[in-house]
Structure 1
Amino acid sequence: MQLTKSKNIASALAMASCSLIGTAQAEDNKADDWKVDAAIMYYGENERVQAVEGIANVQKAFGDTSTLDMKLVVDALTGASASGAVPQGTVQTFTRPSGQGQYQVEAGKTPLDDTFHDTRVQLSGNWTEKLSPVWTVSGGLYGSKEFDYLSMGANAALERSFNKDNTTLALSGSYSHDQIDPVGGTPVALSAMVLRGNYASDDAYWQAFNATRDGNSETKDTADILLGVTQVLNANWLMQVNYGLSSVSGYMTDPYKLVSVVDSEGIALEQLYESRPDSRLKHSGYLLFKGALDSAVMDVSYRFTTDDWGISSHTLETHYRHYFNEGFYGQLHLRYYQQSEADFYTPYLQQGAPLPEFASADYRIGKMNAYTVGLKFGHRLPGGHELSYRIEYYQQNPDNPGVELLNGFNGYDLFPDVKAIVAQVSYSF
């Protein structure tokens, strides 16, 4: 039921990457101090997670030096999520996270937890103040709440321009504190799932279930620092280079993910709740080129990340926006992503092998590549309003990190692709 949480430091990066159009927006703000962006987005995976998201962003300018940004996001999620358990040749039975009730998975199918549903509300605000022609500061607060997750954070940034505003140095940081309240309580790491059918009475079952739980609430703290340089190269092009450092401590295990223990024939003997380290240090580097062509704007970027979990990733991304006339444009979006697996990632554990300290079969931290292909169209309306709509296709391709699979898994897909459609309609005024 957890989604990756967006950090405010990322919004600072996005704002910097849009520097070419920032001047035009500033001119608009002088004529109209209010700017509102509203959007509704649909995200749908094939036979898995479905999400509908509403977004509202309001910007208010106070003279030429101060700006207030406020954003509201509401998500409604439902569907099924891969639990991490391996497929089997027979029907499998799993206990729901709450301990109340069970669900079954057909023979040969990837086990999906159909309890994935939630509503998330996120609210953030950011104040930007231009202290002088060369100094700008900003700060903001962030809050997000869903049924089993609460996140609160703050961010601040400082910018200094040089060389007749052709060079900008930016330093930003953020801190967030998250509280996780898993449904049914926090599972004991690598404890075995219990099934009601294995116990003679409800009392015996609940005693065994409660023995797999370790309290009701966990916490996580995240601190991010981002250092960036934006350089205007000529009248049409700019370049941006960023370095980011992220430190996370606390509960990072997904309480709803499992790891199967199998025998030499690949038959699942039990399901263990996964276990992850309680700290993570991540480094990232980012390079962007953004330019204006005769009747188009395009950007090309590359990002590299690495962390002490053993995950390294590469992201190549480009947007090409062509203006057919003053009131209509089309945009192509291409993105390719590749990552290595975490040191403790494994598709399953084998009977008789020593139990590791950490283990996860979550494909999201496994070896994979992914790509996105998207189109967006926008119309300039009377009064400076804009209507835009986009549609994208996303495919994630998990891969075997080099594990020699047991013969019992022949014919089963332990690393199934994830395919999704993203559709969004936006209105700015």
Structure 2
Amino acid sequence: MGLRVLLSLGLCVSNQEKSNFVACLSIAALALPGLMQTAVAGRTEESYNADFQYGHYSESSSRIDVNTYEGALSAPIGRSMTASVALVKDIVAGASPRYNDYDSKGNVRQVLSGQNVSGALVSGASPVNSQCGKSICDSRDGISPSLTYFFDSGSINLNGGFSRENDYTSRYVGTTISKDFNKKLTTANFGVSLAFDEIDPTNRPTLRGSKTSQQYLLGVSQIINKDSLILSNVTFGYNTGYLSDPYKLVYFSFDDGSFDFRRDTRPREKFQFAWLTQYIRHFGELNDAALHIDYRFSTDSWGVNAHTAEASWHQPVGDGWQIIPRVRYYSQDQADFYTVVGDGNALQKGVYSSDYRLAGFGAVTAGIHVSKEFTELKPLSHLKFQVGGEYYNHSAGLQLGGNSASNFADFNYFLITGSFNMRF
């Protein structure tokens, strides 16, 4: 449920259980070179564009497997407008961490939805779904139309979207305005989006709720010289409503030896701030290679401060081939109300969660993508294929400054993608 969530460049922090996995896959796929990028850029050539991408996500210990299918079409309208539409379908199956407790040796362990570590069913957890033999078996269908108007010194974009799954419905609208200055060497960007989500947890009618999300963007891009470009933007977000995860529990252990379970309970509002800067350097002497370096800092009212650094090298190797290796490092502090196992102090606060995505941890991602472009296939003016793979390692010990308190939640995943783009 809740497959549409915010991505923080290396971490999907979601208020829903299945959200993290599918959203990471979908948004990471959209960020790959070659997919969706021509929906606006192609308009300057008055071209029609079609994109398709398939991705497969597989998490360690066979916990979660996701298949995602994404497509986009764009077309010019007259000389000043472009219309586009994107479609997505995600299919997810597996099991997700539901709460933490202690094993027979007194060590903290994660208990998965539908099963415990030994494989036996856990009382009160999600039952195994007969459709796929897993405790999580769901799909999401989404559509996102967009309309862009171009004028001499900029553009205006209007967009929206709708997605639905068994227990989650999301709707959003947004707009982006770009304005060129300084002989088109400088571009200012402003964006705003509003999302309205309805949560209807499976077999839990008393936990139904809704939330709204607002996001505002201010940014600027500057051409430094013929080989260098820098981009920087800040985003402000505000979420309010049902922000807890109805599928997660918190295990409480008290001094008198008793224990109890409580529902995941988070604050009903969250303020967010993020600053992203990207530097791009072109190297003509290296067969038109390009270096991309990104840094992002984010913070929110829940106490999660995060740093992301990423570098990628775009290397053409002749005859339309290109190789893109990339590496990313992510580190975050734990949320103020995060607790591995609840105690009396956490209970007094009234807000608590043992969701590992709110813990302190670090992550390293490494991947490579290979593409092949064809430019002489009539009636197509452009055809591009791309395949890629990424490996992600989530570890408490990788957090800046180190952390051993949450190492029981360490895991890794593989992401494999394939895409093609046509322009005609």
Residue number in structure 2 paired with 1:242: 233
1:135 deviates by 3.2
Contact 1:46 1:418 in 2 (8 A): yes
**Which of the residues 256, 262, 267 maps onto 1:272?**
262
1:54 counterpart residue number? 69
d(CA) in 1 for partners of 2:169 and 2:43?
38
The alignment status of 1:35 with 2:20, answered yes or no, reads: no
1:304 matched to 2:297? The reply is yes
Match of 1:116 in 2: 136
Cα deviation for residue 182 of structure 1 reads 0.7
Distance 1:235 1:268, change over 3 A: farther
Q: How does 1:71-110 map to 2 (within 5 A)?
A: 71-89=86-104, 103-106=115-118
Q: CA deviation at 1:273?
A: 1.3
- Give unmatched runs, 5+ long, in structure 2: 8-25, 127-133
Q: CA deviation at 1:143?
A: 0.8
Output one character per residue of 1:12-66: Cα deviation in whole Å (capped at 9) or x when no partner: xx99x99xx9799548843xx3111101000010121110000101111224421
* Distance (whole Å) between structure 1 residues aligned to residue 55 and residue 85 of structure 2: 19
For residues 66 and 175 of structure 2, what CA distance do their matches in structure 1 show?
A: 31
CA displacement, residues 196-222 of structure 1 (integer Å, 9 cap, x when unaligned): xxxxxxxxxxxxxxxxxxx35200000
Which residue of 1 is the match for residue 350 of structure 2? 357
Paired residues in the alignment total: 377
One-letter amino acid of the structure 1 residue matched with residue 386 of structure 2: S
1:420 and 2:413 correspond? yes
8 Å contact kept, 1:392–1:423: yes
2:42–2:49 contact (8 Å) kept in structure 1: no
- Mark the CA change 1:62 to 1:133 in structure 2 (over 3 Å): closer, same or farther: same
Letter in structure 1 aligned against 2:166: F
SS of match in other structure, 2:247 = coil
Matches within 5 A, 1:10-409: 25-26=41-42, 29-30=45-46, 33-47=47-61, 48-89=63-104, 103-106=115-118, 115-130=135-150, 132-185=151-204, 215-264=206-255, 269-294=259-284, 295=287, 296-350=289-343, 354-381=347-374, 382-383=376-377, 384-398=382-396
Q: What amino acid does structure 2 have at the position aligned with 1:340?
A: D
Gapped runs of 5+ residues in structure 1? 187-214, 406-412
3-state secondary structure, aligned to 1:385: strand
Partner residue of 2:130?
none
TM-score, with length taken from structure 2: 0.80
What's the Cα RMSD here?
3.5
Give 3-state SS (helix, strand or coil) of 1:415's partner: helix
The answer on whether the counterparts of 2:385 and 2:419 sit within 8 Å (CA) in structure 1 is yes
- For residues 300-345 of structure 1, give each alpha carbon's deviation from its aligned partner in whole angstroms, at most 9, with x where no partner exists: 1111111111111001112211000041111011111110011000
- Write the letter of the residue equivalent to 1:328: W
Aligned partners of 2:262, 2:174: CA distance in 1, in Å? 38
Larger Rg: 1
Question: 8 Å contact 1:339–1:369 — kept in the other structure?
Answer: yes
Percent same amino acid among aligned pairs? Answer: 24
1:231 Cα deviation after fit? 0.5
Question: Relative to structure 1, is the Cα distance of residues 234 and 24 closer, same or farther in structure 2, using a 3 angstrom cutoff?
Answer: farther
SS at match of 1:344: coil
C-alpha separation between the residues in 1 aligned to 2:80 and 2:45? 11
- CA distance in 1 between counterparts of 2:43 and 2:170 reads 35
Q: How far off is 1:6 after superposition?
A: 5.2
Contact 1:87-1:107 at 8 Å conserved across structures: no
